Structure 1
């Protein structure tokens, strides 16, 4: 993505009607020149559970639980697909490599926890057995040199009419269930979640107010 394309993405995210002007300019072969200081919103208002920016209204969610067990390549298809109740939808995957020393400790902790779950009862559940096998496989791969990655997801739904926002929220929460992804509304941090879902290179842990000892334990 070029610098100009990035400017267009950010501009349209904050002010969706700008997409029509930009698309018409591209269709006519006219160059679109946007400076970085022109692409942000002219005004915003962050509420507890939604975010108003220029001519649009958005709601954002963060992932609290990834799909468990075996998943196929189409598990996110309904969540990714366009929806009639949502003008613009953005699903962003965030990745952060884990250093090798911490990765070894995390793998060992997960394996120990999985073993406790299958030995603490007289009859372990099928889920506990699957988790134990996955923990063993992860430990073997890590011992052979594979790396671990922290990952997350931010989902944003945007509409240009505030009265349609509840329908957009319902659409996201319904389709996330079929994707086997646990999402939680970013209450009190809607503006932050919105920015985090944009391709701006934000590293969220660097902006956290938590001490490093607590962040490492999470």
Structure 2
């Protein structure tokens, strides 16, 4: 890239979601269902079971094809039906209500994290003698471990366009390297905002005032700090890297040494992208997740952090006192949270500032959280998928003698660009986004929901509420290693 090109804003494109097609416009799974149904129909005819073939095999095949092909709410009918059934079943049994503490049914009387995080445990390890131990969130049943990098974003500092372009390229390179590792499940970047108490600013001012400074100068600086700190929002950010483990690593805990040698490199290299990162400690992780579940404790944890003393809370007690899941929101410790998932990414090209409005503090939204989830394919697997989808696109574009549709031509062009990028060393991955807004009783619930949807529209992103999955969406946007796609469900095998 020349110096003149570096000074121009770069236009980026996410590309189309990866999909395989079979007969006509049907998905590959629908095509397989049709092929299996045809074989059973043929064998039934040969066996003389004509009535069974026409009145059982054909209707069942048509129903299954509809379940895996027709979409409702950005999901196949099979998935939507299962979500409806699971939500009805847990509501009927009272499982949508969570109560913790000494008088609850939680083992040991703890306030454990609910839902996806209930079976996790936090362990500490050391990666450098001069550094405090870092925390790892271990999910033994799934054989996954998550490490957290506490981040300070510097993307809004004054810089030239060329510097912004280079930092964006470094971020892409940092993510692409996880495809080469072969054991990375996902990388989640979380940027959250909350109302600050002003103590952090006041403490910084007290630290920089010299003892011999004139009284008038001290007063001016102190008053200025009070004005700046008034209702000043705080930005919290972290990156969660989830690593897949095998049985041997989990048994002898050799993964601890392995990750300890890698986490320092991850934290150092991401700084080239303008992100100052440090491995998160045990106490930082517990405080971060508990503040998300229990917003009234934010000021307490901020005060404890200023004193330099530990809060003494354990991972087993980092959950909420109570929580209730409804169809449209998740209520916890007196606050209500609404979570959206990205239904559709920007269709056209965009610049590197497209998510700035979503992530920056907002005057009318006190607490919000944006989580970007990147799931890399292994290098070899990504190349295979790109080639297979390109062949599908070529078949779709050339299968008809009539004028080729613009959609088929665009798909062919996109897959061809992906093949060329793969040849130049690019890696393949899937990107998802979750947005959570937490509303306290003094805020207008409907207004906050409207503001979030308008912010997304301004970023050319279509959001969809995670109805009947608000608890799962809330915990996914926390960025502590849990994602919904890895959970085994019946509809996952019938997804189109």
TM-score, normalised via structure 2 length: 0.40
Assess if the C-alpha contact under 8 Å between 1:83 and 1:171 holds in 2. no
1:142 Cα shift? 2.4
- Aligned counterparts of 2:488 and 2:363: Cα–Cα separation in 1: 36
Q: Tell me the equivalent position of 1:199.
A: 479
Query: Which protein shows a greater Rg?
Result: 2
- Find out whether 1:184 has 2:470 as its counterpart: no
Higher relative contact order (CA 8 A, sep 6+): 1
- Select between 72-81 and 163-172 the one with higher mean Cα deviation: 163-172
- Find out whether 1:66 has 2:351 as its counterpart: no
Residue by residue, what CA displacement relative to the aligned partner does 1:42-72 show, whole Å, maximum 9, x if unpaired?
1001110101001211100011212233221
Unaligned runs of 5+ in 2: 1-279
SS of the residue aligned with 1:146? coil
- Aligned counterparts of 2:438 and 2:393: Cα–Cα separation in 1: 40
Assess if the C-alpha contact under 8 Å between 2:390 and 2:416 holds in 1. yes
Q: Tell me the equivalent position of 2:333.
A: 54
Q: Tell me the equivalent position of 2:64.
A: none
- Aligned counterparts of 1:210 and 1:69: Cα–Cα separation in 2: 35
- Select between 137-146 and 172-181 the one with higher mean Cα deviation: 137-146
SS of the residue aligned with 2:444? helix
SS of the residue aligned with 1:11? helix
Q: Tell me the equivalent position of 2:365.
A: 86
- Specify which of 23, 44, 47 is matched with residue 302 of structure 2: 23
- Aligned counterparts of 1:210 and 1:91: Cα–Cα separation in 2: 29
1:99 Cα shift? 3.8
1:5 Cα shift? 1.1
1:6-155 maps to which residues of 2 (within 5 A)?
Answer: 6-100=285-379, 102-108=381-387, 110-112=389-391, 116=396, 122=403, 125=406, 131-155=411-435
Aligned CA distance change for structure 1 residues 78 and 128 (closer, same or farther; 3 Å)? farther
1:77 Cα shift? 1.0
- Aligned counterparts of 1:204 and 1:210: Cα–Cα separation in 2: 14
- Aligned counterparts of 1:113 and 1:148: Cα–Cα separation in 2: 18
Aligned CA distance change for structure 1 residues 214 and 105 (closer, same or farther; 3 Å)? farther
SS of the residue aligned with 1:25? helix
Unaligned runs of 5+ in 1: none
1:73 Cα shift? 0.8
- Aligned counterparts of 1:45 and 1:188: Cα–Cα separation in 2: 12
Q: CA RMSD in A?
A: 2.7
SS of the residue aligned with 1:205? helix
- Aligned counterparts of 1:89 and 1:68: Cα–Cα separation in 2: 25
